[in-house]
Amino acid sequence: MSRTLGTDRDHSAKRKNALFSGHTSAGWLFTAPSIAIIAIFLVIPIVLAVWVSLSDWNGLGSPLSGKTEFVGLDNYATILAEPGLARDDFGISLRNNFYYVLFVVPLQTALSLFLAVQVNRRILRGRGFFRTAFYFPSITSSVAIVIVFLFLFSASGAVNTVLGWFGAKGPNWFSDPSGIFHNMLAAFGITSPPPFLADEWFLGVTGWQWISGPSIAMCALIIMAVWTTSGTFMLLFLAALQAIGSDVREAALIDGAGPIRTFFSITLPLVKPTIFTVLTLGLIGTWQLFDAIYLTGGGAPGKTTLTPAYLAYETSFKGLDWGQGAAISFILFGIIVTLTLLQRFILKDRDRTTLRTRRGVTAGNDAAPRGREGSA
């Protein structure tokens, strides 16, 4: 009997293999173009970039020619460990970009959520106009926006003119390298670092430099980034808000929840996945800041707007040190991935995890008596 069943299974498996053998070939044939495109435009460039970061290629000729030598992790060591201009510049660019991320990501997330809530209100007239107006900066050329901001934030620009109406003297925004935290400390008479801040902390940058805060020039770029990107993220929040059913709000209203309580107890938890998406996109975009830096002087004034992305470009195209440029890019990639994973861990929905755990424990407790009964 068992031999008969085994024979039937063998015949069935053979018929199945024969049936799908043609399908397998057809499947590979249909997916081959996609696989080839991914290999040519994604896999091969990444592998080649890894090789460049481990070589001394100067950008002349092919990186795979015999003139290019393998240097191992020397490019990474030059940037991260060896004292010198390369390490100092990378440390300064990291500090600048860190403050840029620290200010831009929370501000653009909060502003975009606020705008989405406002344009989602039914009592607001002209909602279509406001949605278009808020989204308009996102579809405008970044070059045009930077040029407009250069005029607005010039010494005699509109921003300083408005500040003058209130008796305040505005700074020369894009020419002022002083950090805002240093300026705050200077207001209390602290203009030089204490001994423990005068020493080098990390990547050739002293503690006093690390706590300087964003420069005045970087503050202008932060304002520009928040104004430009909030419209795009507003649309994401708007879609999430419109997905919340009216019955949920009506139930909250019946329970006596006011607008503020409804927002923090109902709306905010329901749009939490969108908040994570906005934070992730904002984090990635802010660490890749390049075009505004290129248009405003390449890190001027005093390298206080220098970013790792622009430093990679400058090292590769101007310094002809493509190995170090590629190494900076991969370090930046590692920073973005690490911060994204950290952000995902922090924003993890612990309530659902706890609920699943409790369900698992409950199911286990329910199954245990049945198991004992079965064994008995």
Q: How many residues does the chain have?
A: 376
Question: Looking at the predicted structure, is the pLDDT value of residue 207 above 70?
Answer: yes
pLDDT tens digits for 165-175?
Answer: 999 888 989 99
**Phi then psi for 200, rounded to 5 degrees?**
-75, 130
d(CA 194, CA 57) in angstroms, rounded, equals 43
Q: 11, exposed or middle or buried, with CB in 10 Å at 0-12, 13-18, 19+?
A: exposed
- Per-residue pLDDT, averaged over 214-238, amounts to 94
Q: What is the pTM of this model?
A: 0.84
**Model pLDDT, residue 214:** 95
Q: In the chain, what are the domain boundaries?
A: 82-140+218-349
pLDDT tens digits for 14-63?
Answer: 665 655 566 778 888 889 999 999 999 999 999 999 999 999 998 888 88
Query: In this structure, what token pair is assigned to residue 20?
Result: 């799908």
pLDDT tens digits for 76-121?
Answer: 999 999 898 999 999 999 999 999 999 999 999 999 999 999 998 8
Q: How confident is the model at residue 199 (pLDDT cuts 50, 70, 90)?
A: confident
Range with lowest mean pLDDT among 99-113, 307-321, 357-371 = 357-371
Amino acid at 84: G
Q: Are 265 and 253 in contact (CB under 8 A)?
A: no
d(CA 215, CA 211) in angstroms, rounded, equals 11
**Model pLDDT, residue 249:** 80
**Model pLDDT, residue 245:** 83
**Model pLDDT, residue 266:** 87
Q: Are 235 and 137 in contact (CB under 8 A)?
A: no
**Model pLDDT, residue 21:** 61
Question: Looking at the predicted structure, is the pLDDT value of residue 375 above 80?
Answer: no
Question: Looking at the predicted structure, is the pLDDT value of residue 369 above 50?
Answer: no
**Model pLDDT, residue 22:** 63
DSSP secondary structure string for all residues of 300-361:
-STTTT--HHHHHHIIIIIT--HHHHHHHHHHHHHHHHHHHHHHHHHT--HHHHHHHHHHHH
**Model pLDDT, residue 37:** 95
Closest-CA residue to 304 (of 154, 175, 150): 175
Question: Looking at the predicted structure, is the pLDDT value of residue 135 above 70?
Answer: yes
User: 3-state SS of the chain: helix, strand, coil percent to 5?
Assistant: 75, 0, 25
- 82-140+218-349 has CATH 1.10.3720.10 classification: yes
Percent of the chain having pLDDT more than 90? 56
Instruction: Let me know the angle formed at the C-alpha of 301 by 299 and 219, rounded to the nearest 5 degrees.
Output: 85
Range with lowest mean pLDDT among 79-83, 109-113, 123-127, 312-316 = 123-127
Question: Looking at the predicted structure, is the pLDDT value of residue 221 above 50?
Answer: yes
What is the CA 291 to chain-centroid distance, rounded? 16
d(CA 56, CA 258) in angstroms, rounded, equals 64
Query: In this structure, what token pair is assigned to residue 45?
Result: 């460039």
